[in-house]
């Protein structure tokens, strides 16, 4: 049974599997000292620009925690949305690993952090009694499936630079944002002033693996040490690298991310025709948020599982994957229409 | 010049100085293995009840961090007011020392944490992705100088116990709360179900030193190990113990805390007669919060310094100490009345 | 080119690749809530006994740090060999993640920790000034390729239990030890009193992944929380589980571990005929340690790379993998014989 | 009863008490923003040189941990003697607060760290798998009461600088070393290349309090933030500062440290005449180490308590204080002579 619960319920892309099989031909140096890792490093530089430094990690928590650890002193605070994955779904890993404060920011109705909310937290600079803000993490696309525009990212990064702070993107679904804005990696990430990104692979069909890409020399300076000590350095590193190589080759990611986004758009369209269910957020990537009758939940989840996002309002999250099909959506909506 | 900035601007009580001089008569065992410490330990047991375990620490941050560290696992969250000293004025000490998340709670207009706000944070219990709430810290009196009633504390501690959580009091000014409620130590702290308290001495005229008093065997189990590793164990421990002995003897604290509270009440009375300044919070301990014209600040601070609490509204905090006098208040209010 | 540098230079077993392909047939619950993970959990219980709790992690550092974190308080010390991977090759991850002291123990000439060396570190119990020993980690096989006998493990675990301490095995190459002793998993690990083990898969031909297996209820109590916060919980968890399923099925591990050990034994035999090179440690698993002329190193490393273990004596480590062949060893030794 | 157990069994110097009483005349700014602190800051600059930055802390553990925290990244190692207070008597505070590895070094028979032992630990630089050595802590006088010469300190600091490392002194008894070498503060600390020192006051008769003095801009850069977050910033900071002022004024410390050292020298002389007890270390500061019959211990400890340093050999430590008297020593030695 397919699922609309999360794109990490989906499996592995055939091109990724082929890449792994192809990488398994011979012995290779461990911990990143192999030819494939070196080769993919260059692919990342082509995509992000020559300033980029790259390390491969196992999962999203590892990518986020390693990323912010590169920016902070132990007396720093890390600003992030109060609905962000780092704040609500990564246990206390950020605190334990960095010793820092996570400072939660309220988001606007689209799930975005606003310039105003950041400014309210850039306070008491130089006051040793208060955690010193040093990095902001935004999620792109946001937890609500909306997408920051390039102008919005630039405005945020400008504000941060003016205050000696860094900008991190949690890009667990970054490819969905890229196709949503029809932007290149360099346009969205390097050129807008992002300093470091958790560049997600798992949710677009990798077996496992994410990348941390750094665009600022301050943050890359001790990257290899922080990478190792975060327990996120794989001995058979080439098997993460080769998966990213497959995704980046001929922009394969575009095809699959586009598909997932299109399925969300299609689902959004179909739902509009159904009364008693209301889409609550702009559908800009691969997620559809909607409020529906509480007594629909069980019956619909038997067709395709999904998460109830807000128990109070019965707002649900319907997340499309690279392998969601129109037929599946049609069937899902048909059942919806049949419900009293 | 006296000050209304903070009660830690004040010096040391004469009885405290005498106690220190008296303790300095001979060699004594170090790190708490001395007769004075043993004797004062018994005084605390008399005040708190036989369940109490006590350790002496250097300062308020140490007391708070040691206290919460006794309750948590490294995957726990610590609930506290978003205006609490622990949240805004103790750098990232709690996170570094415990590895845990501080979860900020909004307070009501009196600066109190409500049962409702706690309930909203007791969520996702058993879900390993989310920090698990384990202890709540309230400040008594609150940062706004208001005082939780015994019933309010009991209601909070009941809610926490029902959820396998602990209750901590940041009692930097606990004596001011005790006289405010006309309650004994045992009535306010032990009998209401408080599990651990930062029992403040410095702000009522000790040279330095606070106590951590534990009323729950789970939390006292490894207390001595956590005490030492918090770097808060004094080699000449008897010089903290003797100060508390002086304060507790014949309830000396009552006299001085009563005075400070009375001065705040008097200041409150006097201010009421002045137009253009409005007291904003109930005056229940030794602090008066008031909004006054922005252009008064400088002139008044030259009479007695004080803090501007909220720059946006020019709400100021006027904190009375054990040595604040009526004459000083009269002079202060006179100048106030003279300002245009 | 094959390598004798490390068994993590080798690739992935064909049976493992097939298992991954087979697991990639449909959507599945994330973070371990899937049928394959549940199934493999039962396989582990069959192998280890019903007491076992199991979590899958990404790599060896993660397994070790998660393991010891289950046993300690923040004032504990962790005893380990001063040549152990945890002590010399995992950066400061153990300290950062647990806050504890690593206490290095000297090993005997076979690289084993002795009962005597442990006793010398079980000191100052109850003294809050000193880190309190709580867990010992041994490596099986040791860093020198030797293997603790079942009696040796039992003696160590008995000493630890008598002192309220736990026993951890770093089993990055545990399968090589099992075939060396011709023991079952249950005989070597559960029945000897081991409390928790880093159960290694990567070095025997998994793509990635290790397991943490717990045999003591104290340590499994909060396992899921510590697992998540160690950043070692994979969203597509089934792809680690399925690899272990393949290894455990019909004891597939025996075949490959046996082969690697036999190749080491064969290499040991062949080297004995060569003058000017001396095997320095008993060859009991898949490693051969030997001292050879310094000027041989470069020429031999061009045939098959290996590590110089001790630069002062030119002791080298020759590590056989599941895919090392007799022909390769013959060629390696031939070149050796041809060197002046 | 006086004691030879530790100089922290002694009380407070009369000049220190007077200074505290004198400082208690009026309200003053908190957390170091007071005139006394500013004044004493200048006294330290006069003693150490203009490069010095100074912060006052509560105790020795706080001083040591704050000091090393200024030098390290979280992937660093901290080198120290395996008999140092930081290694054996400060629980796991250094690890918890910094996340770093403590690397124990063997000392020579005088309890000193040698250049050779340091060199053996400056290994694997740039290798992310291994903790990176960044600071060395020596104790002056050493744990055995011996004193590093200026030339020895210079040699160590030179080696460290050449390897991009820093030098810390744990100077809990630094004044005893200064009089031993007849050196000024600047000569022993600033001019030898020490980067940061825990400058001890408590053991020479302060009520409480130590100073952290920094001689390197890299380490002072974020000093105030690390000071606060170490929970070692006193709100009534002036009461630590004033004690140091008294000690530094007219080099008062010389008189008392000289006395303690002289008493140790005298004790050493007297013991030489007693058979069956052998002084084991050069007596260069205020401690005498000696091996004596095991059955003497109890009887002698009833005259003046002391510590058995090594239970295996019955080596004892006899520590003289600023208030030890010749008569007391004479009586102690008389009893010694009377023992069978």
Average pLDDT of chain B, as a whole number: 97
Nearest residue in C to A90, CA atom: C229
Give CA–CA dist C290/D141, Å, rounded.
45
Using an 8 Å CB-CB cutoff, list chain D residues near C172: none
Question: Residue B48 maps to which CATH number?
Answer: 3.40.640.10
User: Which residue shows structure tokens 């009586």?
Assistant: D331
* Distance between CA atoms of residues A236 and C58, nearest Å: 11
Mean pLDDT of chain D, nearest integer: 97
* Closest to C99 measured CA to CA, from B117, D95, A119: D95
Using CA atoms, how far apart are residues C290 and C280, in angstroms rounded to an integer? 5
Confidence class of residue B1 from pLDDT cuts 50, 70 and 90? confident
Residue D340: band (very low, low, confident or very high) from pLDDT cuts 50, 70, 90: confident
Among C209, C228, C251, the domain boundary falls at C251
DSSP string, A131-199: PEEEEEEEESS-TTS----HHHHHHHHHHHHHTT-EEEEEETTHHHHHHHHT--HIIIIITTT--EEEE
Q: For residues A231-238, give the mean pLDDT.
A: 98
Q: D235 CB near a chain A CB, below 8 Å?
A: no
Strands B287-291 vs C315-319: parallel, antiparallel or unpaired: unpaired
Which residues, at least 6 apart from C204, have a Cβ–Cβ distance to it below 8 Å? C7, C13, C173, C175, C176, C247, C253, C256, C257, C260, C322
Same domain, D247 and D150: yes
Distances (CA, A) of A217 to A71, A118, A214, A220, C192: 11, 24, 8, 5, 51
A20 touches chain C (CB under 8 A): yes
**Is C9 contained in some domain?**
no
Which residue, among D86, D233, D12, D171, has the nearest Cα to B58 in the 3D structure?
A: D233
pLDDT digits (tens, 9 = 90+) for C284-313: 999 999 999 999 999 999 999 999 999 999
Q: What is the reported pTM? A: 0.97
Distance from CA of D64 to the nearest CA of B (A): 10
Q: Is there a single domain that holds both residue A129 and residue A238?
A: yes
Residues D236 and D279 reside in one and the same domain: no
**Domain coverage including residue D108:** 14-251
C24 touches A: beta carbon within 8 Å? yes
How many alpha carbons lie under 13 Å from residue A200 in its C-beta half-sphere? 24
The answer to whether the CB of D65 falls within 8 A of the CB of D94 is yes
Measured CA to CA, the distance from residue B315 to residue B308 in angstroms comes to: 6
- DSSP annotation of B316: E
Instruction: Tell whether B324 lies on the interface with D, counting CB pairs under 8 A.
Output: no
3-class SS shares of chain B: helix, strand, coil, % to 5 = 45, 15, 40
**What's residue C19's pLDDT?**
98
Select the residue of B92, B232, B235 nearest D229 (Cβ to Cβ).
Answer: B92
From the list D75, D128, D229, the residue facing A75 with the nearest CB is D229
Instruction: Decide if A115 is inside a domain.
Output: yes
Q: Coil, strand, or helix at residue B205?
A: coil
The residues in B 71-90 lying below 8 A from A, measured between CB atoms, are: 74-77, 88-90
The Cα A251–Cα D194 span in angstroms is 56
D231 touches chain A (CB under 8 A): no
Domain shared by C27 and C81, yes or no: yes
Residues of C in contact with A9 (CB under 8 A): 27-30
DSSP state of B190: I
Instruction: Report the number of distinct structural domains present in chain D.
Output: 2
pLDDT, one tens digit per residue, over A138-149 is 999 999 999 999
Domain with residue D288: its CATH number is 3.90.1150.10
Residue D2 falls within a domain, yes or no? Answer: no
Judging by DSSP bridges, how do beta strands B307-310 and B101-105 pair with one another? unpaired
Q: Which run of H or E residues covers position B7?
A: none
Query: Is the pLDDT assigned to residue B116 strictly greater than 80?
Result: yes
CB D234 within 8 A of CB D78: no
Nearest to D18 by CA among B243, B236, B17: B17
> What are A158-191's pLDDT values in tens digits?
999 999 999 999 999 999 999 999 999 999 999 9
Assess whether pLDDT exceeds 80 at residue B303.
Answer: yes
Q: In 10 A of CB A82, how many CB atoms?
A: 15
Q: How confident is the model at residue D317 (pLDDT cuts 50, 70, 90)?
A: very high
In this prediction, residues B107-116 reach a mean pLDDT of: 98
The segments of chain C whose pLDDT lies below 70 read: none
pLDDT above 80 (res A230): yes
Mean pLDDT of chain A: 97
- Residue B328 confidence (pLDDT) above 90: yes
Q: Is residue D106 part of a domain?
A: yes
Whole-angstrom Cα distance, residue C103 to residue B299? Answer: 61
Judged by CB atoms closer than 8 Å, whether chains meet at A92 and B104 is answered as no
Domain boundary residue among D203, D235, D251?
D251
Same domain, A220 and A275: no
Cβ–Cβ under 8 Å, residues C274 and C337: yes
Neighbours of D61 (CB within 10 A): 29
**Mean pLDDT value across chain C:** 97
Q: State whether residue D224 sits within 8 Å of chain A by CB.
A: yes
In this structure, is residue B156 part of a structural domain?
A: yes
- Give the number of A-C residue pairs with CB atoms closer than 8 Å: 147
> Subunits that touch chain C (at least 3 Cβ pairs < 8 angstroms)?
A, B, D
* Whether A149 and A260 share a structural domain: no
- ipTM field: 0.97
Which residue blocks in C3-130 are alpha helix, DSSP H? 14-23, 35-48, 60-69, 85-88, 93-98, 115-119
Assess if residue B1 is contained within a domain.
no
CA dist B239 and B36 (Å) reads: 9
The per-residue pLDDT for C1 is: 78
- The answer to whether residues A111 and A259 belong to one domain is no
- pLDDT tens, position by position, B35-73: 999 999 999 999 999 999 999 999 999 999 999 999 999
**Tens digits of residue pLDDT in D64-122:** 999 999 999 999 999 999 999 999 999 999 999 999 999 999 999 999 999 999 999 99
Are residues D182 and D46 part of one domain? Answer: yes
Task: Give the minimum alpha-carbon distance from D129 to chain A in angstroms, rounded to a whole number.
Answer: 6
Tell whether C275 is covered by a domain: yes
A59 CA: distance to closest CA in chain D (Å): 20
What CA–CA distance (Å, rounded) separates C279 from C264? 11
Please tell me which of the candidates D74, D92, D102 has its beta carbon nearest to residue C99: D92
D225: how many CB neighbours lie within 10 A of its CB? 23
* pLDDT (tens digit per residue) in A47-57: 999 999 999 99
Same domain, A209 and A317: no
Q: In whole angstroms, what is the distance from residue C204 CA to residue C207 CA?
A: 9
Question: Do residues A74 and A187 both lie within one domain?
Answer: yes
If 0-12 CB within 10 Å is exposed, 13-18 middle and 19+ buried, where does residue A44 land? buried
Whether A57 and A82 map to the same domain: the answer is yes
**C243 lies in the same domain as C278:** no
- What would the pLDDT profile of B2-29 be if each residue is shown by its tens digit? 999 999 999 999 999 999 999 999 899 9
Q: Which of A251, A277, A312 is the last residue of a domain?
A: A251
* A131 contact residues in B (CB cutoff 8 A): 91-92
Beta-bridge mates of residue B213: B54, B197
- For the residues B293-318, what does the mean pLDDT come to? 95
Mean pLDDT, residues B207-230? 98
Which chains share 3+ C-beta pairs under 8 angstroms with A?
Answer: B, C, D
What burial letters (b/e) apply to D71-95, b meaning 16+ CB within 10 Å? bbbbbbbbbbbebbbbbbbbbbbbb
Tokens linked to B155: 């209601």
| C75 token code pair | 């004032």
Q: Given a cut of 90, is residue A93 above it in pLDDT? A: yes
Give B-chain residues touching C227 at CB under 8 angstroms: 128
| C256 domain-assigned | yes
Residue A126: closest C-alpha in chain D: D225
Sheet holding A278-279, edge to edge: A278-279, A287-291, A315-319, A307-310
Q: Residue D1: is its pLDDT beyond 90?
A: no
Mean pLDDT of B203-219: 98
Task: Give the mean pLDDT of B322-327.
Answer: 97
């Amino acid at each position: 049974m397919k699922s609309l619960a999360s794109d990490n319920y989906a499996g592995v892309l055939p091109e990724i599997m082929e890449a792994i099989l192809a990488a398994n031909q011979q012995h290779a140096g461990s911990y990143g000292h192999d030819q494939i890792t070196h080769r993919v490093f260059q692919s990342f530089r082509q995509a992000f620009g020559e300033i980029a430094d790259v390390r491969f990690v196992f999962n999203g928590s590892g990518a986020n925690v390693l990323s912010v650890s590169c920016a902070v002193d132990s007396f720093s605070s890390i600003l992030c949305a109060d609905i962000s994955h780092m704040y609500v779904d990564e246990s206390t890993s950020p605190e334990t690993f960095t010793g820092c404060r996570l400072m939660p920011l309220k988001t606007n109705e689209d799930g975005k952090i606003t310039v105003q909310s950041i400014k309210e937290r850039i306070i008491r600079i130089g006051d040793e009694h208060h955690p010193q803000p040093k990095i902001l993490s935004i999620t792109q696309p946001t937890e609500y499936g909306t997408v920051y525009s390039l102008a919005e990212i630039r405005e945020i990064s400008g504000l941060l630079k003016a205050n000696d702070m860094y900008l991190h993107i949690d890009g667990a679904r970054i490819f969905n944002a890229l196709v949503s804005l029809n932007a290149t990696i360099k346009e969205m990430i390097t050129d807008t002033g992002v300093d470091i990104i958790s560049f997600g692979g798992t949710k677009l069909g990798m077996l496992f693996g994410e990348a941390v890409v750094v665009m600022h020399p301050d943050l890359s300076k001790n990257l290899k040490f922080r990478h190792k000590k975060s327990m996120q350095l794989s001995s058979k590193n080439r098997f993460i690298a080769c998966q990213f190589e497959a995704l980046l080759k001929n922009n394969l990611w575009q095809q699959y991310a586009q598909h997932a986004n299109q399925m969300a758009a299609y689902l959004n369209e179909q739902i509009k025709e159904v009364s008693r269910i209301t889409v609550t957020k702009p559908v800009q990537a691969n997620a559809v948020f909607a409020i529906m009758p509480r007594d629909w939940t069980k019956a619909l989840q038997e067709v395709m599982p999904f998460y109830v996002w807000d128990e109070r309002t019965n707002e649900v999250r319907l997340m499309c994957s690279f392998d969601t099909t129109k037929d599946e959506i049609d069937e899902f909506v048909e059942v919806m229409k049949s419900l009293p």
